[in-house]
Amino acid sequence: MDIPKEVTLSELIEWCEGLGVNLSHAFVLSGVPPDAEVSDIEELAQTVKVFGRVRVRGEKYHSQMQCKIVLCECRQPVSPDHTPPEIRSVRGELPWKIILLTNRDTETPQFSDKIRKLLQEEGKTMDDVRALFSKEPLHGSSPDSIIRAVGDLLEKTMRPSSDNTVFRRLRTFSGTIPTPPGEESLEHWLAQARLMVEECTGSNREKRTRIVESLKGPALDIIQAVRLNEPEATPSDYLTALENAFGTPESGEDLYFAFRSMHQQFGEKLSDFLQRLERSLRRVLHRGGISPQRMDQVRLEQLIRGSAQSDMILVHLRLRERKERPPTFLQLLNEIREEEEYEASRRKLNPTVRQVQATKETKQGKVKSIQSSNLPEGLVGPSPLASVTLEGQPCQALLDSGSRVTIVFENW
């Protein structure tokens, strides 16, 4: 089965370049059944020994011929002299045609290779070049127009941009438990790394370098194993490998059940509880336990269900009445914080006066009253006890030597 006439070789080359696949390592399979799984395609393609390890990078469905066109990438460069023209399926179907993308006639192969290499290093594609001249009609694909487009593209990429300087260096992560001082936990480190991968305008090579330079210990060993097995792994593949190695083995359903069991702790502000819910909900989303469209509704439902000490804030913000049109996370967080600040200022202006129970006065005290004696004054002299030391031990002794005489000055 030949390649469909509607798809030209140049379109296949642009498709390959758009996905960032090296043309010398790529080939296209034509006539693949629509129900063929990716694993089956890779397994059948790897039966050709010259291909080695094969990975499916893209699929396109051709409605007229009712088949798929599959773009595959090999670990080693494809040799046109040793590549068979087709692959026969084990299920007895029609053979799949093998189309190589390197057998094409070009007047200036070195120049085009340099352009493709330059675009790959800058993280750009030919679509970015065309976008520069989307408003200006290009007269064919003359060398002058290509050179002018590449020059403008280089001017934009070489221009210092604040976006390239935002993410300087990630915090250190080793995967050691408990987390050593000066390092980040897996959850916080992954959040920063994903933000860097999504927002940084650098190339994939630069992103991989930033990830590797922040790792050490067991985490670095995992990435070295990934690079050994998959030299062309993307930064997202690095993060996925680290999460699988050091993250929780719980599925999206398990994390969603744990999210539904969260409650506000004693003394915890409602805004802090909301942020704790958001972190848990992000993990559920990343594991596929919930769709992004349901996040606002599920977040509000669990906030109402789990809040046990902030009923007045829920009433003032009318959150129970807003379930049909729930607010976003940032909008909800701002509203709750404003209400908490209002409640705090109102408590300062109106201090609460509490009643304190006082003890009753009583005439009976612990001090015993001194009863008067009938003995006359001066009859009783000083105490006959004296402090003495016997064999080094202090003690009280009764002196009866006659040295102490009781003198009575009055008759009685």
pLDDT block averages, 10 residues each, the chain of length 412? 60 84 87 85 86 87 80 86 81 80 51 69 69 53 65 61 56 86 86 85 85 89 89 87 82 86 89 90 84 89 86 84 88 90 82 64 58 63 72 72 49 48
pLDDT at 61: 82
pLDDT at 146: 67
Q: Which residue has the tokens 């993060």?
A: 239
Instruction: Specify the domain boundaries for CATH 3.30.70 within the chain.
Output: 9-100
pLDDT at 177: 83
Q: Are 319 and 307 in contact (CB under 8 A)?
A: no
In whole angstroms, what separates CA 55 from the centre of its chain?
A: 28
Q: What is the pTM of this model?
A: 0.41
pLDDT at 107: 39
Q: Which of the following CATH numbers is that of domain 9-100: 2.30.30, 3.30.70, 3.40.50, 2.40.10?
A: 3.30.70
Can you give the length of the chain in residues? 412
pLDDT at 405: 47
Residue 210's alpha-carbon distances to 169, 179, 200, 368, in angstroms, are 7, 21, 11, 84
pLDDT at 403: 52
pLDDT at 406: 47
Residue 407's alpha-carbon distances to 142, 225, 379, 381, 401, in angstroms, are 141, 108, 7, 7, 16
Q: Are 86 and 92 in contact (CB under 8 A)?
A: no
Question: For residues 390 and 294, what is the distance between their CA atoms, to the nearest angstrom?
Answer: 91
